[in-house]
């Protein structure tokens, strides 16, 4: 499939400005929607559907965001979470929530600071 749309949520205005500049330089600004705010509040208002979600930075709220996103995921969906080996206590609740999803296959790849990958395949 060609095309797509990315939504990036960040509460740090400086980081969002950096992302905006980098996306402009890369020629990708037109396919990325930058939203400033608290990710949990923003995710609650997004309609979806989503086929790929990447959790980064705020590991403590990731389980709440996951719960909000699950009904908005496509049948074939990827879930990624960064820093799962470098911050095990902070990400533990998210990992437990993903492991409890019977329809998702899940693994942690020991690359960088650790990457959690979960995939649900359409029946």
- Whether the model clears a pTM of 0.85, i.e. scores above it, the answer is yes
Architecture label for domain 38-120 = 3-Layer(aba) Sandwich (3.40)
Q: Read out DSSP for 50-103?
A: EEEEEE-S--SSHHHHHHHHGGGEEEEEEEEEE-TTTSHHHHHHHHHHHHT-TT
Cα–Cα distance for residue pair 72/49, rounded to 1 Å:
5
pLDDT digits (tens, 9 = 90+) for 70-94: 999 999 999 999 999 998 999 999 9
SS3 36: strand
Q: Which tens digit of pLDDT belongs to each residue from 98-113?
A: 999 989 999 999 999 9
Question: Domain locations in the chain?
Answer: 1-37, 38-120
């Amino acid at each position: 499939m060609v095309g797509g749309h990315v939504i990036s949520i960040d509460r740090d205005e400086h980081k969002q400005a950096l992302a905006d500049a980098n996306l402009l330089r890369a020629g990708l600004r037109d396919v990325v929607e930058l939203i400033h705010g608290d990710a949990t509040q923003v995710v609650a208002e997004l309609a979806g559907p989503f086929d790929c979600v990447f959790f980064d930075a705020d590991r403590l709220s990731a389980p709440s965001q996951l719960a909000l996103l699950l009904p908005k995921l496509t049948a074939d969906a990827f879930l990624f979470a960064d820093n799962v080996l470098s911050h095990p206590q902070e990400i533990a609740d998210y990992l437990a929530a993903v492991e409890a999803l019977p329809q998702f296959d899940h693994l942690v790849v020991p690359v960088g600071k650790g990457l959690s990958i979960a995939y649900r395949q359409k029946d």
